[in-house]
Structure 1
Amino acid sequence: MTIAKMSMNRNSSRYFKISVNGFENGCMSGIIYHAGTAPGIRFENYLEMMLHMNRIFDELANPKRTMDYRRFGGTKLPEPPIQEYDQLEDGTLATFKLNVKYRYNTSWQGEISWLEGQEKQEFESFLQMTYWIEQVLNGPGDRGQPQKISNVCQIAVDSFEGGLLAGSVQNAFLNYLEDFTGTIALADAMGHFIGLGSLKDDDSGGQNEDIRIIPDKMWSVYREGGKEATFLIKILFREHSTWQGVIRWRETGEKQAFRSFMELVLLMTSALESSDGRILYEDRYLHKNRESALMEG
Protein backbone atom coordinates (compact mmCIF):
# COMPACT_ATOMS: atom_id res chain seq x y z
CA MET A 1 0.00 0.00 0.00
CA THR A 2 1.36 3.42 -0.93
CA ILE A 3 2.06 6.01 1.76
CA ALA A 4 -0.59 8.29 0.25
CA LYS A 5 -3.27 5.59 0.47
CA MET A 6 -2.26 4.66 4.02
CA SER A 7 -2.61 8.30 5.02
CA MET A 8 -6.03 8.52 3.35
CA ASN A 9 -7.28 5.42 5.21
CA ARG A 10 -6.02 6.71 8.55
CA ASN A 11 -7.66 10.09 7.99
CA SER A 12 -10.99 8.55 6.95
CA SER A 13 -11.08 6.56 10.22
CA ARG A 14 -11.59 9.87 12.06
CA TYR A 15 -14.83 10.63 10.19
CA PHE A 16 -18.38 9.66 11.03
CA LYS A 17 -21.66 10.40 9.34
CA ILE A 18 -24.41 10.91 11.91
CA SER A 19 -27.96 10.43 10.61
CA VAL A 20 -30.41 11.80 13.17
CA ASN A 21 -33.87 10.25 13.04
CA GLY A 22 -35.21 11.20 16.45
CA PHE A 23 -34.82 14.09 18.89
CA GLU A 24 -37.16 14.39 21.84
CA ASN A 25 -36.62 16.13 25.18
CA GLY A 26 -32.92 16.53 24.41
CA CYS A 27 -32.44 12.83 23.58
CA MET A 28 -31.05 12.14 20.11
CA SER A 29 -31.27 8.81 18.25
CA GLY A 30 -30.23 7.63 14.82
CA ILE A 31 -27.43 5.86 12.96
CA ILE A 32 -23.67 6.46 12.82
CA TYR A 33 -21.62 5.44 9.77
CA HIS A 34 -17.89 5.09 10.32
CA ALA A 35 -15.92 6.69 7.47
CA GLY A 36 -19.31 7.52 5.94
CA THR A 37 -19.97 3.99 4.69
CA ALA A 38 -22.47 1.22 5.45
CA PRO A 39 -23.17 -0.73 7.55
CA GLY A 40 -24.06 1.76 10.20
CA ILE A 41 -24.65 1.34 13.93
CA ARG A 42 -27.91 2.37 15.57
CA PHE A 43 -27.81 4.51 18.71
CA GLU A 44 -30.62 5.55 21.04
CA ASN A 45 -28.93 8.43 22.89
CA TYR A 46 -25.79 10.57 23.07
CA LEU A 47 -24.07 8.18 25.48
CA GLU A 48 -24.48 5.18 23.18
CA MET A 49 -23.23 7.24 20.23
CA MET A 50 -20.15 8.36 22.16
CA LEU A 51 -19.36 4.85 23.48
CA HIS A 52 -19.59 3.31 19.98
CA MET A 53 -17.32 5.99 18.52
CA ASN A 54 -14.75 5.71 21.31
CA ARG A 55 -14.67 1.92 20.85
CA ILE A 56 -13.92 2.30 17.14
CA PHE A 57 -11.25 4.96 17.77
CA ASP A 58 -9.63 2.69 20.39
CA GLU A 59 -9.65 -0.33 18.06
CA LEU A 60 -7.94 1.68 15.32
CA ALA A 61 -5.77 3.71 17.73
CA ASN A 62 -6.74 6.73 15.62
CA PRO A 63 -7.12 9.34 16.93
CA LYS A 64 -5.23 8.12 19.97
CA ARG A 65 -6.34 8.85 23.50
CA THR A 66 -3.76 10.91 25.33
CA MET A 67 -5.22 9.93 28.73
CA ASP A 68 -6.98 6.89 30.10
CA TYR A 69 -10.48 7.49 31.43
CA ARG A 70 -10.74 7.33 35.20
CA ARG A 71 -13.19 4.93 36.84
CA PHE A 72 -14.27 4.06 40.33
CA GLY A 73 -12.65 0.93 41.74
CA GLY A 74 -14.06 -2.35 40.48
CA THR A 75 -16.24 -0.75 37.81
CA LYS A 76 -16.30 -1.03 34.04
CA LEU A 77 -17.67 1.09 31.22
CA PRO A 78 -21.01 0.19 29.63
CA GLU A 79 -20.80 -1.74 26.38
CA PRO A 80 -23.96 -1.10 24.35
CA PRO A 81 -24.90 -3.87 21.89
CA ILE A 82 -23.90 -3.31 18.28
CA GLN A 83 -27.04 -3.09 16.13
CA GLU A 84 -25.98 -2.80 12.51
CA TYR A 85 -27.98 -1.05 9.79
CA ASP A 86 -27.20 -2.07 6.21
CA GLN A 87 -28.49 0.94 4.29
CA LEU A 88 -26.57 4.21 3.94
CA GLU A 89 -29.15 6.93 4.53
CA ASP A 90 -29.35 10.57 5.51
CA GLY A 91 -31.20 11.37 8.72
CA THR A 92 -34.89 12.24 8.62
CA LEU A 93 -34.24 15.21 10.96
CA ALA A 94 -30.63 16.12 10.20
CA THR A 95 -27.34 14.74 8.92
CA PHE A 96 -23.93 15.62 10.30
CA LYS A 97 -20.36 14.91 9.22
CA LEU A 98 -18.10 14.61 12.25
CA ASN A 99 -14.31 14.78 12.10
CA VAL A 100 -12.68 13.98 15.45
CA LYS A 101 -9.08 15.09 14.99
CA TYR A 102 -7.77 14.63 18.53
CA ARG A 103 -8.75 13.12 21.87
CA TYR A 104 -7.01 15.38 24.35
CA ASN A 105 -8.09 16.13 27.94
CA THR A 106 -10.37 13.04 28.06
CA SER A 107 -12.60 14.62 25.43
CA TRP A 108 -12.81 15.24 21.66
CA GLN A 109 -11.56 18.02 19.42
CA GLY A 110 -12.41 18.52 15.76
CA GLU A 111 -15.10 19.92 13.50
CA ILE A 112 -18.69 19.03 12.69
CA SER A 113 -20.76 19.97 9.62
CA TRP A 114 -24.54 20.12 9.30
CA LEU A 115 -25.03 18.91 5.73
CA GLU A 116 -28.58 20.17 5.14
CA GLY A 117 -27.85 23.62 6.55
CA GLN A 118 -24.35 23.82 5.07
CA GLU A 119 -22.93 25.00 8.39
CA LYS A 120 -19.68 24.00 10.06
CA GLN A 121 -18.48 24.36 13.63
CA GLU A 122 -15.14 23.64 15.28
CA PHE A 123 -15.24 22.24 18.82
CA GLU A 124 -12.72 21.56 21.57
CA SER A 125 -14.85 19.23 23.72
CA PHE A 126 -17.62 16.65 23.51
CA LEU A 127 -19.78 19.03 25.57
CA GLN A 128 -19.32 21.90 23.12
CA MET A 129 -20.08 19.59 20.18
CA THR A 130 -23.34 18.30 21.68
CA TYR A 131 -24.46 21.84 22.55
CA TRP A 132 -24.02 22.82 18.89
CA ILE A 133 -25.96 19.74 17.68
CA GLU A 134 -28.76 20.61 20.10
CA GLN A 135 -28.83 24.18 18.76
CA VAL A 136 -29.18 22.88 15.20
CA LEU A 137 -32.00 20.51 16.15
CA ASN A 138 -33.84 22.88 18.50
CA GLY A 139 -33.10 26.15 16.74
CA PRO A 140 -31.06 29.02 18.18
CA GLY A 141 -31.77 29.87 21.79
CA ASP A 142 -30.24 31.98 24.53
CA ARG A 143 -28.87 29.86 27.36
CA GLY A 144 -28.08 33.02 29.29
CA GLN A 145 -26.32 33.19 32.63
CA PRO A 146 -27.87 31.66 35.75
CA GLN A 147 -29.23 33.97 38.41
CA LYS A 148 -28.01 31.64 41.16
CA ILE A 149 -24.44 30.40 40.87
CA SER A 150 -22.84 27.53 42.74
CA ASN A 151 -20.04 25.10 41.97
CA VAL A 152 -21.49 22.09 43.81
CA CYS A 153 -24.51 19.92 43.16
CA GLN A 154 -25.94 16.48 43.79
CA ILE A 155 -26.94 14.30 40.86
CA ALA A 156 -29.62 11.78 41.83
CA VAL A 157 -29.97 9.04 39.20
CA ASP A 158 -33.35 7.32 39.27
CA SER A 159 -33.05 5.31 36.07
CA PHE A 160 -30.31 3.99 33.79
CA GLU A 161 -31.86 1.81 31.09
CA GLY A 162 -30.35 1.36 27.66
CA GLY A 163 -27.67 3.95 28.37
CA LEU A 164 -30.22 6.67 29.14
CA LEU A 165 -29.53 8.60 32.34
CA ALA A 166 -32.58 10.04 34.10
CA GLY A 167 -32.91 11.77 37.45
CA SER A 168 -32.45 15.24 38.92
CA VAL A 169 -29.77 17.82 39.60
CA GLN A 170 -30.14 19.24 43.11
CA ASN A 171 -28.69 21.98 45.29
CA ALA A 172 -30.49 22.33 48.62
CA PHE A 173 -28.69 25.56 49.55
CA LEU A 174 -30.09 27.27 46.47
CA ASN A 175 -33.45 25.47 46.75
CA TYR A 176 -32.73 24.19 43.23
CA LEU A 177 -33.99 20.97 41.65
CA GLU A 178 -34.24 20.21 37.94
CA ASP A 179 -35.17 16.87 36.37
CA PHE A 180 -33.22 15.57 33.39
CA THR A 181 -33.44 12.72 30.88
CA GLY A 182 -30.36 12.12 28.76
CA THR A 183 -26.77 13.29 28.67
CA ILE A 184 -27.28 16.73 27.14
CA ALA A 185 -30.23 17.43 29.44
CA LEU A 186 -27.93 16.63 32.37
CA ALA A 187 -25.39 19.15 31.05
CA ASP A 188 -28.15 21.73 30.64
CA ALA A 189 -29.45 21.17 34.18
CA MET A 190 -25.94 21.54 35.64
CA GLY A 191 -25.21 24.59 33.48
CA HIS A 192 -28.35 26.37 34.64
CA PHE A 193 -26.77 27.07 38.01
CA ILE A 194 -23.05 26.34 37.53
CA GLY A 195 -22.72 29.00 34.86
CA LEU A 196 -20.26 29.29 32.02
CA GLY A 197 -17.94 31.88 33.54
CA SER A 198 -15.53 31.80 36.45
CA LEU A 199 -16.62 29.89 39.52
CA LYS A 200 -16.12 30.67 43.18
CA ASP A 201 -14.62 27.96 45.36
CA ASP A 202 -17.53 27.88 47.85
CA ASP A 203 -17.80 24.68 49.87
CA SER A 204 -21.20 25.68 51.23
CA GLY A 205 -22.79 25.18 47.84
CA GLY A 206 -24.48 28.58 47.84
CA GLN A 207 -23.83 32.29 47.88
CA ASN A 208 -22.68 33.47 51.30
CA GLU A 209 -24.66 36.69 51.10
CA ASP A 210 -27.85 34.90 50.04
CA ILE A 211 -29.00 33.04 53.15
CA ARG A 212 -32.45 31.53 52.76
CA ILE A 213 -34.72 29.07 54.54
CA ILE A 214 -34.51 25.64 52.91
CA PRO A 215 -37.90 23.90 52.62
CA ASP A 216 -38.18 20.55 54.41
CA LYS A 217 -39.27 18.91 51.15
CA MET A 218 -36.05 20.01 49.44
CA TRP A 219 -33.93 18.67 52.30
CA SER A 220 -35.84 15.39 52.18
CA VAL A 221 -35.18 14.93 48.45
CA TYR A 222 -31.55 15.99 48.83
CA ARG A 223 -30.90 13.53 51.66
CA GLU A 224 -32.73 10.63 50.06
CA GLY A 225 -30.77 10.71 46.81
CA GLY A 226 -31.43 8.69 43.66
CA LYS A 227 -33.04 5.29 43.24
CA GLU A 228 -30.04 3.93 41.32
CA ALA A 229 -27.14 6.04 42.61
CA THR A 230 -26.24 9.48 43.91
CA PHE A 231 -23.20 11.58 43.07
CA LEU A 232 -21.87 14.75 44.67
CA ILE A 233 -20.14 17.04 42.17
CA LYS A 234 -17.80 19.96 42.73
CA ILE A 235 -16.69 21.98 39.72
CA LEU A 236 -13.22 23.47 40.22
CA PHE A 237 -12.36 24.79 36.75
CA ARG A 238 -13.84 25.39 33.33
CA GLU A 239 -11.14 24.95 30.71
CA HIS A 240 -11.09 23.63 27.12
CA SER A 241 -14.87 24.33 26.82
CA THR A 242 -15.69 21.73 29.44
CA TRP A 243 -15.68 21.20 33.22
CA GLN A 244 -13.05 19.84 35.62
CA GLY A 245 -13.67 18.90 39.24
CA VAL A 246 -14.29 16.12 41.75
CA ILE A 247 -17.07 13.53 41.90
CA ARG A 248 -18.01 11.51 44.99
CA TRP A 249 -20.13 8.37 44.70
CA ARG A 250 -22.32 8.85 47.75
CA GLU A 251 -23.25 5.20 48.28
CA THR A 252 -19.63 4.04 48.51
CA GLY A 253 -17.86 7.25 49.57
CA GLU A 254 -15.30 6.87 46.77
CA LYS A 255 -13.96 10.03 45.10
CA GLN A 256 -12.40 10.67 41.71
CA ALA A 257 -11.22 13.74 39.85
CA PHE A 258 -12.65 14.31 36.37
CA ARG A 259 -11.06 16.35 33.57
CA SER A 260 -14.06 16.80 31.27
CA PHE A 261 -17.83 16.46 31.14
CA MET A 262 -17.30 13.31 29.07
CA GLU A 263 -15.16 11.75 31.80
CA LEU A 264 -17.73 12.80 34.43
CA VAL A 265 -20.47 10.96 32.51
CA LEU A 266 -18.26 7.90 32.03
CA LEU A 267 -17.48 7.80 35.77
CA MET A 268 -21.18 7.93 36.60
CA THR A 269 -22.24 5.35 34.04
CA SER A 270 -19.42 2.93 34.94
CA ALA A 271 -20.64 3.08 38.56
CA LEU A 272 -24.24 2.48 37.45
CA GLU A 273 -23.21 -0.35 35.13
CA SER A 274 -21.29 -2.16 37.85
CA SER A 275 -23.53 -1.84 40.92
CA ASP A 276 -27.02 -2.67 42.07
CA GLY A 277 -28.15 0.81 42.93
CA ARG A 278 -31.71 -0.33 43.57
CA ILE A 279 -30.58 -2.37 46.58
CA LEU A 280 -28.52 0.57 47.87
CA TYR A 281 -31.58 2.81 47.53
CA GLU A 282 -33.82 0.35 49.36
CA ASP A 283 -31.22 -0.03 52.13
CA ARG A 284 -31.14 3.75 52.59
CA TYR A 285 -34.93 3.93 52.61
CA LEU A 286 -35.30 1.14 55.20
CA HIS A 287 -32.54 2.63 57.35
CA LYS A 288 -34.27 6.00 57.24
CA ASN A 289 -37.58 4.44 58.29
CA ARG A 290 -35.92 2.51 61.12
CA GLU A 291 -34.37 5.75 62.41
CA SER A 292 -37.76 7.47 62.31
CA ALA A 293 -39.43 4.60 64.14
CA LEU A 294 -36.78 4.67 66.88
CA MET A 295 -37.14 8.43 67.32
CA GLU A 296 -40.92 8.07 67.63
CA GLY A 297 -40.47 5.43 70.31
Structure 2
Amino acid sequence: MEKTQWYLGAPNSVVLCVDRIGAGQPEGRFYHAYAREGTSFSNMEEAIFQLERFYDSLNFPHPTTDSRTFINRGGHTESRKERTRIMRDDELLGRHGDLGTFIIRVQHRQNSSWQGRITWMDRNRTLYFRSIWEMIKLVASALDTVSEQEDAALEQSWQDE
Protein backbone atom coordinates (compact mmCIF):
# COMPACT_ATOMS: atom_id res chain seq x y z
CA MET A 1 0.00 0.00 0.00
CA GLU A 2 1.34 3.39 -0.97
CA LYS A 3 1.47 5.73 2.02
CA THR A 4 0.51 8.95 0.23
CA GLN A 5 -1.58 10.26 3.15
CA TRP A 6 1.11 9.60 5.79
CA TYR A 7 2.53 13.00 6.67
CA LEU A 8 2.41 15.24 9.72
CA GLY A 9 2.69 18.71 8.21
CA ALA A 10 2.39 20.78 11.41
CA PRO A 11 4.16 21.09 14.77
CA ASN A 12 1.01 20.01 16.63
CA SER A 13 0.31 16.83 14.65
CA VAL A 14 -0.15 13.68 16.70
CA VAL A 15 -0.32 9.97 16.00
CA LEU A 16 -3.25 8.42 17.88
CA CYS A 17 -2.84 4.68 18.50
CA VAL A 18 -5.86 2.64 19.61
CA ASP A 19 -4.89 -0.67 21.17
CA ARG A 20 -8.15 -2.03 22.57
CA ILE A 21 -11.76 -1.27 23.38
CA GLY A 22 -12.35 -1.27 27.14
CA ALA A 23 -15.82 -0.65 28.59
CA GLY A 24 -16.98 0.36 25.12
CA GLN A 25 -14.33 3.08 24.82
CA PRO A 26 -11.10 3.20 22.77
CA GLU A 27 -7.95 2.85 24.86
CA GLY A 28 -4.44 3.58 23.72
CA ARG A 29 -1.89 6.35 23.51
CA PHE A 30 -0.89 9.27 21.36
CA TYR A 31 2.53 10.51 20.32
CA HIS A 32 3.85 13.92 19.37
CA ALA A 33 7.27 15.20 18.35
CA TYR A 34 8.13 16.69 21.76
CA ALA A 35 8.33 13.49 23.83
CA ARG A 36 9.60 9.96 23.22
CA GLU A 37 6.98 8.25 25.35
CA GLY A 38 3.32 8.19 24.46
CA THR A 39 0.51 9.73 26.46
CA SER A 40 -1.93 7.01 27.52
CA PHE A 41 -5.70 7.43 27.54
CA SER A 42 -8.48 5.12 28.70
CA ASN A 43 -11.33 6.77 26.76
CA MET A 44 -11.83 9.44 24.09
CA GLU A 45 -12.83 12.10 26.62
CA GLU A 46 -9.50 11.70 28.40
CA ALA A 47 -7.64 11.78 25.07
CA ILE A 48 -9.41 15.01 24.05
CA PHE A 49 -8.59 16.76 27.34
CA GLN A 50 -4.93 15.67 27.14
CA LEU A 51 -4.68 16.79 23.51
CA GLU A 52 -6.26 20.15 24.41
CA ARG A 53 -3.61 20.63 27.14
CA PHE A 54 -0.92 19.75 24.59
CA TYR A 55 -2.25 22.32 22.09
CA ASP A 56 -2.47 24.90 24.89
CA SER A 57 1.15 24.22 25.84
CA LEU A 58 2.19 24.87 22.23
CA ASN A 59 -0.29 27.72 21.88
CA PHE A 60 -0.88 26.26 18.42
CA PRO A 61 -3.31 26.43 16.89
CA HIS A 62 -4.27 29.45 18.90
CA PRO A 63 -7.83 29.15 20.30
CA THR A 64 -10.30 31.83 19.25
CA THR A 65 -12.21 31.53 22.54
CA ASP A 66 -10.94 31.40 26.12
CA SER A 67 -11.50 28.30 28.19
CA ARG A 68 -14.43 28.62 30.55
CA THR A 69 -14.54 27.18 34.04
CA PHE A 70 -16.60 27.31 37.20
CA ILE A 71 -13.44 27.91 39.23
CA ASN A 72 -12.04 31.44 39.35
CA ARG A 73 -8.32 31.14 38.65
CA GLY A 74 -7.64 34.80 39.40
CA GLY A 75 -6.46 35.61 35.90
CA HIS A 76 -3.60 33.12 36.13
CA THR A 77 -2.26 32.30 32.71
CA GLU A 78 0.06 29.41 32.11
CA SER A 79 3.40 30.47 30.67
CA ARG A 80 4.21 29.05 27.27
CA LYS A 81 7.69 27.65 26.87
CA GLU A 82 9.43 26.91 23.62
CA ARG A 83 9.46 23.18 22.96
CA THR A 84 12.22 21.23 21.29
CA ARG A 85 11.41 18.41 18.88
CA ILE A 86 12.68 15.09 20.16
CA MET A 87 11.20 12.69 17.59
CA ARG A 88 11.52 12.88 13.84
CA ASP A 89 8.45 12.53 11.62
CA ASP A 90 9.47 9.06 10.43
CA GLU A 91 9.75 7.88 14.07
CA LEU A 92 6.28 9.23 14.85
CA LEU A 93 4.80 7.62 11.75
CA GLY A 94 6.35 4.32 12.85
CA ARG A 95 4.08 4.15 15.92
CA HIS A 96 1.02 1.94 15.51
CA GLY A 97 -1.96 0.79 17.55
CA ASP A 98 -3.27 -2.76 17.66
CA LEU A 99 -6.77 -1.78 16.46
CA GLY A 100 -6.16 1.45 14.58
CA THR A 101 -3.74 4.29 14.00
CA PHE A 102 -4.69 7.85 13.11
CA ILE A 103 -2.77 11.01 12.29
CA ILE A 104 -4.59 14.01 13.73
CA ARG A 105 -3.79 17.45 12.33
CA VAL A 106 -5.77 20.16 14.11
CA GLN A 107 -5.61 23.25 11.90
CA HIS A 108 -7.97 25.55 13.82
CA ARG A 109 -9.50 25.82 17.28
CA GLN A 110 -12.57 27.90 16.59
CA ASN A 111 -16.00 28.02 18.25
CA SER A 112 -14.62 26.08 21.24
CA SER A 113 -13.92 23.06 19.04
CA TRP A 114 -11.32 21.75 16.59
CA GLN A 115 -11.21 21.70 12.83
CA GLY A 116 -8.67 19.77 10.81
CA ARG A 117 -7.80 16.50 9.12
CA ILE A 118 -7.60 12.93 10.31
CA THR A 119 -5.82 10.15 8.43
CA TRP A 120 -6.67 6.54 9.12
CA MET A 121 -3.20 5.09 8.54
CA ASP A 122 -4.43 1.50 8.21
CA ARG A 123 -6.49 2.48 5.15
CA ASN A 124 -4.39 5.44 3.94
CA ARG A 125 -7.54 7.57 3.91
CA THR A 126 -7.84 11.22 4.99
CA LEU A 127 -11.01 13.10 5.88
CA TYR A 128 -11.64 16.61 7.15
CA PHE A 129 -13.49 17.13 10.43
CA ARG A 130 -15.36 20.27 11.52
CA SER A 131 -15.60 19.58 15.25
CA ILE A 132 -14.18 17.40 18.00
CA TRP A 133 -17.42 15.44 17.96
CA GLU A 134 -17.09 14.71 14.25
CA MET A 135 -13.46 13.59 14.76
CA ILE A 136 -14.54 11.22 17.56
CA LYS A 137 -17.26 9.78 15.31
CA LEU A 138 -14.72 9.21 12.51
CA VAL A 139 -12.43 7.29 14.88
CA ALA A 140 -15.38 5.26 16.19
CA SER A 141 -16.60 4.41 12.69
CA ALA A 142 -13.11 3.25 11.68
CA LEU A 143 -12.89 1.04 14.75
CA ASP A 144 -16.40 -0.32 14.06
CA THR A 145 -15.24 -1.26 10.56
CA VAL A 146 -12.28 -3.14 12.03
CA SER A 147 -14.47 -5.03 14.53
CA GLU A 148 -17.02 -5.90 11.81
CA GLN A 149 -14.23 -7.39 9.68
CA GLU A 150 -12.95 -9.38 12.66
CA ASP A 151 -16.50 -10.64 13.32
CA ALA A 152 -16.87 -11.64 9.66
CA ALA A 153 -13.53 -13.45 9.74
CA LEU A 154 -14.60 -15.27 12.92
CA GLU A 155 -17.90 -16.29 11.34
CA GLN A 156 -16.13 -17.60 8.25
CA SER A 157 -13.77 -19.71 10.35
CA TRP A 158 -16.74 -21.23 12.21
CA GLN A 159 -18.42 -22.04 8.89
CA ASP A 160 -15.29 -23.72 7.56
CA GLU A 161 -15.22 -26.34 10.31
- Scaled by the length of structure 2, the TM-score of the pair is 0.66
**For this pair of structures, how many residues does the alignment match?**
119
Task: String of CA shifts for 1:231-267, please: whole Å, max 9, x gaps.
Answer: xxxxxxxxxxxxxxxxxxxxxxxxxxxxxxxxxxxxx
Q: Percent identity at matched positions?
A: 29
1:94-105 equivalences under 5 Å are 94-105=100-111
Distance in structure 2 (CA, Å) of the matches to 1:36 and 1:73: 30
In structure 1, stretches of 5+ residues that fail to align are 1-10, 76-86, 141-297
Conserved 8 A contact 1:96-1:114 = yes
Q: Which has the higher contact order (CA 8 A, sep 6+)?
A: 2
SS of the residue 1:139 aligns to:
helix
Distance change >3 Å, CA 93–CA 37, structure 1 → 2: farther
**In 2: Cα distance, 1:92 partner to 1:36 partner:** 23
How far residue 37 of structure 1 moved from its aligned partner, in angstroms, is: 6.4
Aligned partner of 1:115 in structure 2 is: 121
User: Offset of 1:36 from its aligned partner?
Assistant: 8.7
- Seen in structure 2, the aligned counterparts of structure 1 residues 63 and 101 have a Cα distance that, compared at 3 Å, is same
Shift of 1:12: 3.1
Question: How far has the Cα of 1:90 moved from its partner?
Answer: 0.7
Q: Name the residue aligned to 1:69.
A: 67
CA apart distance, 1:70 = 2.1
State the 1:22 CA deviation: 1.2
Runs of 4+ displaced beyond 6 Å: none
Q: Among residues 10, 14, 17, which one is paired with 2:15 in the alignment? A: 17
Following superposition, the deviation at residue 74 of structure 1 comes to: 5.2
* Structural RMSD (CA): 2.4
Q: Distance in 2 between matches of 1:73 and 1:36?
A: 30
Q: TM-score, normalised by structure 1?
A: 0.37
Seen in structure 2, the aligned counterparts of structure 1 residues 121 and 37 have a Cα distance that, compared at 3 Å, is farther
Match of 1:136 among 137, 142, 156: 142
> Hey, what does 2:98 align to over in structure 1?
92
Q: Distance in 2 between matches of 1:55 and 1:137?
A: 25
User: How big is each residue's C-alpha offset from its partner over 1:59-100, in whole Å with a ceiling of 9 and x where there is no partner?
Assistant: 11111111012223559xxxxxxxxxxx96310001000100
Q: Distance in 2 between matches of 1:109 and 1:133?
A: 15
Structure 2 runs not aligned, ≥5 long: 1-8, 74-91, 147-161
Residue pair 2:16, 2:29 contacting (<8 A) in 1 also: yes
